[in-house]
Amino acid sequence: KQEVTQIPAALSVPEGENLVLNCSFTDSAIYNLQWFRQDPGKGLTSLLLIQSSQREQTSGRLNASLDKSSGRSTLYIAASQPGDSATYLCAVTGANSKLTFGKGITLSVRP
C-alpha cells in the first residue's frame, strides 16, 4: 500500500528565504508525482507534475525534483513571498489513476 509522507507538518520562514519542501513515498511504482497548493477553505491548485521518466520540472520560482528509485521528491521555492503562504501537498499517481496524498506542509512566510 502506497504511503506518502511530508515532514515537517508546518514551516515558518522569513520573506526572501529559499526553501525546500520534502516528500517521500514507499512504492516506487508510480506514474507521476504532483505538487499542489491548497489555501485555507479552498480547493487544490496543481503547481507541477513530474512524469516518472522525468527528473525535474520548473515553473517560475518553483522547481520540483523526483528520485523515483529512492522514493523522494523535493519542491524548491526561491525567494519566498508572503503570498506563498499555504499548504503544499505532494501526491503520487498509481494504478487506476488514483492519487495518494501526503498530509501536506503548512508554510507561513513572514513579511
Partner 1 sequence: NAGVMQNPRHLVRRRGQEARLRCSPMKGHSHVYWYRQLPEEGLKFMVYLQKENIIDESGMPKERFSAEFPKEGPSILRIQQVVRGDSAAYFCASSPPLAGGLDTQYFGPGTRLTVL
- The footprint of partner 1 (CB under 8 A) covers 4, 31-32, 34, 36, 41-46, 49, 89, 91, 93, 96-104
- Helix, strand, coil share (%) of the chain residues, nearest 5: 5, 55, 40
Q: How far is the CB of 19 from partner 1 (least distance, A)?
A: 21
Least Å distance, CB 31 to partner 1, is: 5
Contact 9, 106 (CB under 8 A): yes
Q: Which is nearer to partner 1, 31 or 61 (CB)?
A: 31
Least distance (Å) between residue 61 CB and partner 1: 20
Nearer to partner 1, 19 or 44 (CB): 44
Residue 66, classified by CB atoms within 10 Å of its CB into exposed (0-12), middle (13-18) or buried (19+), is: buried
**Which of residues 50 and 80 has its CB atom nearest to partner 1 in the complex?**
50
C-alpha Rg value of the chain to the nearest Å = 13
